[in-house]
């Protein structure tokens, strides 16, 4: 008879194989391709702070912040800060660009030991160093892999704060192209944010547009929020 949990192990192995193959394909298409772009809407609106909480954009001070602070201290002590900063940026890209890797991190059905081994194998295949791999291993042991993307964001915010750079948390329905990011940075400079680090995240539920948080200020021009405001207005008129 097949060993217990064999089905879960096979699913994990397949997920790992898919992520590794996808990672190899990503390395072959590093050069960005030109794509049609649309300028962000001028009509951004300040919304209530609870909207930022719902999107997970509040500067992290909880679990994600503690993991980020521990990694920062360890990297600084070892003189590896620049390397770890670059690898954490790459980890964020891997999570954003690989649906298979995200499913591996977020699935509650797979055995956590199998998920941990598969995730670490992917990171080793991608060339990540020991500190980032150790971080992911510890996060996995504590069953907090679904928080990994927020830990990446928390680390980026911490680095920016240490370097005296303001952080702009940007959530879009689809990944920003290089040209769109340049346009966004230009808009931020026009608004008075000349020294800013952009932390990007993709949330398909926004449907379109973008949400930008800088400090306590939140600008929401997402299609999701527009539809919600329209719905509230229609209820009020009924």
pLDDT tops 80 at residue 148: yes
Structural domain includes residue 26: no
- pLDDT of amino acid 17: 56
- For residue 221, being part of any structural domain is answered with yes
Cα–Cα dist 83/89, whole Å: 10
Range of the domain at 116: 46-237
Q: How far is CA 114 from CA 7, 105, 111, in A?
A: 12, 11, 5
Count of domains for the chain: 1
pLDDT for 2 equals 46
Please determine, for residue 151, whether its predicted confidence score (pLDDT) is greater than 80.
Answer: yes
Any domain includes 89: yes
Query: Is residue 143 situated within a structural domain?
Result: yes
pLDDT of residue 53: 44
Tell me, what DSSP letter sits at residue 49?
H
Return the minimum-mean-pLDDT range out of 79-93, 144-158, 166-180.
166-180
Task: Give me the pLDDT at residue 84, please.
Answer: 96
pLDDT band at 47 (very low <50, low <70, confident <90, very high): very low
Does any domain span residue 202?
yes
**Summary mean pLDDT of the chain:** 78
| CA 210 – CA 155 distance, rounded (Å) | 22
Residue 21 located in a structural domain:
no
Q: What is the mean pLDDT of residues 98-107?
A: 90
pLDDT reported for residue 163 = 83
Please choose, from the candidates 191, 201, 88, the residue with its C-alpha nearest in 3D space to the C-alpha of residue 134: 88
Which range in 7-11, 53-57, 97-101 is most confidently predicted, on average pLDDT?
97-101
Mean per-residue pLDDT for 227-232? 81
pLDDT at 66 over 80: yes
Question: Residue 18 falls within a domain, yes or no?
Answer: no
CA distances from 15 to 18, 42, 103 (A): 5, 41, 8
Q: Is residue 203 part of a domain?
A: yes
Instruction: Provide the pLDDT for residue 128.
Output: 96
Q: Which residues pair with 46 in a beta bridge?
A: 219
Q: Could you tell me the CATH number of the domain that includes residue 138?
A: 1.10.520.20
């Amino acid at each position: 008879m097949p060993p217990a949990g064999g089905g879960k192990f096979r699913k994990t192995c397949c997920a790992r194989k898919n992520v590794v193959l996808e990672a190899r394909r990503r390395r072959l298409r590093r050069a960005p391709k030109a794509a049609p772009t649309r300028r962000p809407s001028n009509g951004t609106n300040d919304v209530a702070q609870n909207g930022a909480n719902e999107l997970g954009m509040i500067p992290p001070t909880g679990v994600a912040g503690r993991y980020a602070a521990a990694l920062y201290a360890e990297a600084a002590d070892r003189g590896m800060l620049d390397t770890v900063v670059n690898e954490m940026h790459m980890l964020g890209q891997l999570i954003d660009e690989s649906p298979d890797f995200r499913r591996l991190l977020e699935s509650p059905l797979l055995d956590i030991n199998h998920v941990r081994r598969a995730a670490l194998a992917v990171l080793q295949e991608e060339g990540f160093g020991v500190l980032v791999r150790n971080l992911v291993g510890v996060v996995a042991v504590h069953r907090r892999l679904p928080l990994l993307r927020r830990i990446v964001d928390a680390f980026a915010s911490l680095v920016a704060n240490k370097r005296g750079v303001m952080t702009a948390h940007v959530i879009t329905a689809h990944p920003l192209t290089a040209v769109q990011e340049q346009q966004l940075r230009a808009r931020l400079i026009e608004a008075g944010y000349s020294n800013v680090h952009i932390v990007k995240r993709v949330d398909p539920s926004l449907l379109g547009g973008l949400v930008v948080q800088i400090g306590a200020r939140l600008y929401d021009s997402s299609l999701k929020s527009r539809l919600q405001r329209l719905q509230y207005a229609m209820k009020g008129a009924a």
